[in-house]
Structure 1
């Protein structure tokens, strides 16, 4: 059992949002990482996370689809809403179940209304566009977000997988509170341009997959236990030709963790926490013991020398892309100039 630590709160962005310094990614409860987990168990887990001081929950309409938002809505019905900062996002799917990326105003409004209904809320704390529609100027999309803020349907705006220039253009229309990005010891490309842009503009950073999609929890043996419907089984970094290389990264992290008396996952998560007090990692889990372990990472203190050692290991590089060629990540997405918008 991890040491009992208090989860501190941090400011997210410069518009007034405060969240627990560690959040809870809820995707794996309902989608992508094997079959959906039993609803009563997941509600119990969410309530336990709240009791431990985690107040920032992250979901999306396409987790399921829809079922994860419904789950979160049920979990928050029992008088727990007032203490929470709930984040959801839209992409890949519309209200008719059609897949695709859309950022036009009508779609933004429709999917927001759908999420509000499933979550049982009048207002969403943090609403993301997690993949950018490269056919719609970002000013148009964020302009509709701004209207939703003014109408009290959302409080704060977030983006994900946007380029630095897209973030700047969006922020000029309405302040962006958070950028969600993949950041861990084996995903560090965001450090070159996106992170500095966020910090220049006063935008908070939400790090998803801070444990390398579970790799830093279990190492190479993770793959042996994945079900056929677990999306990770098909990701390049978990393929045999890459896994042999990547296991060296895990083994070196594990060696440092053993020396420090913590688990490799706690060490990897502590590395993310040490990136700054404007960073909120949102590790996902479906087990209470793993949640305790993740919270325990907050008590792992890293010296400058230990940070440098971990950076040296990470700089050796991970083998394999984040996603396979069949999935476009819209990474560093750009959108057309506002002057080209004709509306649809």
Structure 2
């Protein structure tokens, strides 16, 4: 009898974080009655275990797949498998699917696939904020492609720009996952953050500020934009955990340069 040949499922890396998963994933939605009648629990567990035995390590589940039933089923299957070898995906912002209703908890969490002439291909965006989604983590953080403030300075003065406001949304700017960076020399770059959510501050408009200064190097090069040291580039932290909006300011350190 010929031996059964095993199929080697290739692996790929997801997003900028480099998470490695099997290129073929297994969606568990159909196990709990979304597309068809739900399968018995022991059958569902055996299906998940069989998929893993064939090289699939990337599974998905969500509460919306059946009032916790799907998550419980997947959890019981994972207890019988080497958990460190499995990657589990869930859904962002999904609460309940009804006929004609959006599949998200709040309109601010709606993501859509958009396309415009400046993009080579369609991109996933947060609909209300018009920001491209780069990554969504299970910890509840959305990484977006945020626009930059660009100003070519030719004389004395200062310039300001109000950035995207999140005040009425469930989002805030993450203090641990963001940096405020100013690229250029002879600049003082600052941000004035606004905490407008009363849950985070008793003052309806509390302001916090931080900034950094850069000096000039004749080469004009930024050696490492990810760790600016104050030469042709500077960086600082976000001044508060709960900022809903901020104003970017830029001014010259020495008007004579």
Q: TM-score, normalised by structure 2?
A: 0.42
Flag the structure with more relative contact order, 1 or 2, with Cα contacts below 8 A and sequence separation at least 6.
1
> Who wins on radius of gyration, i.e. which is larger?
2
Larger proportion of strand: 2
Larger proportion of helix: 1
Q: TM-score, normalised by structure 1?
A: 0.32
